[in-house]
Amino acid sequence: MARVVKSLGRNHNAEISRIETGERQKISPDVLRAIAPILEIPYEELMDKAGYINSKSSFMTEHREAEELFIATVTPKLIIDGWSVERNRKGSNIGDIVAKKGKEEWHIDYRFFRTREDNDKHFRYDMRARETIWRTYGKLAVYDKDDITKYTIVVSDEKIYELVLKYPPRLLRLKVTAMFIDLEEGKIIDEQILNE
């Protein structure tokens, strides 16, 4: 409680009263940080409710966390299978991970999809998946380096995975696969070739 009092300043009773009655509309992040443990509510949730975190930054945080889990899931298997692995920092290459073995160069790209809870979910899944697939295939079609021998789209949502399998690339020279992973379990569930 001393942290809360310190964060609220000398007139802490008046400040607490203004917060409780809603008179104080914008509570500072420092105050939210101080009261979060007392209320037993995550600081990020209070920041979101207070309007400091917008849905885009929340999405980006979820995306980064999912991408880290993807890399932690896939990288050990690649190394065990004899691939040298480096993380791509979104430079000129395509993919989150670049794996090399002999003359083979495999670019692996995790695609994050936030699930939605609404009645129109199936339409949105299809629309979001197709848009991502089209952008990905278009990017591969105009990629000006011949070093890629295999490209993989990785997803962690089963419905999206089924849609990726449903829309394979038509005229790409390189081998394209789709991979389904379980981020919570930390394992690869399935990988299928999309073109021959």
Average pLDDT of every residue of the chain: 82
Least confident piece of the model among 74-78, 119-123, 152-156, 179-183 = 119-123
Is the CA virtual torsion 131, 114, 163, 125 positive or negative? negative
Amino acid at 193: I
Residue 10 confidence (pLDDT): 58
pLDDT tens, residue by residue, 5-46: 555 555 556 766 777 787 877 787 777 777 777 777 777 777
CA of 38: how far to CAs of 16, 33, 54, 123, in Å?
13, 10, 24, 42
CATH class of 56-193: alpha beta
Least confident piece of the model among 2-16, 45-59, 97-111, 161-175 = 2-16
pLDDT tens, residue by residue, 113-123: 876 555 545 45
> How far apart (Å, rounded) are the C-alpha atoms in residues 101 and 109?
18
Selected residue with higher pLDDT from 149 and 33: 149
Q: What end-to-end distance do the CA atoms of the chain give, in Å?
A: 65
pTM for the structure as a whole: 0.67
Domain boundaries, the chain: 2-53, 56-193
pLDDT at residue 61 is higher than 90 = no
pLDDT confidence band for 80 (50 / 70 / 90): very high
CA of residue 19 relative to chain centroid, distance: 34
Residue 18 confidence (pLDDT): 75
Backbone angles phi, psi at 111, to 5 degrees: -115, 115
* Token pair listed for 90: 């979104």
Least confident piece of the model among 25-29, 86-90, 115-119, 141-145 = 115-119
Spell 64-74 as b/e; 16+ CB within 10 A means b.
eebbebbbebb
pLDDT at residue 91 is higher than 70 = no
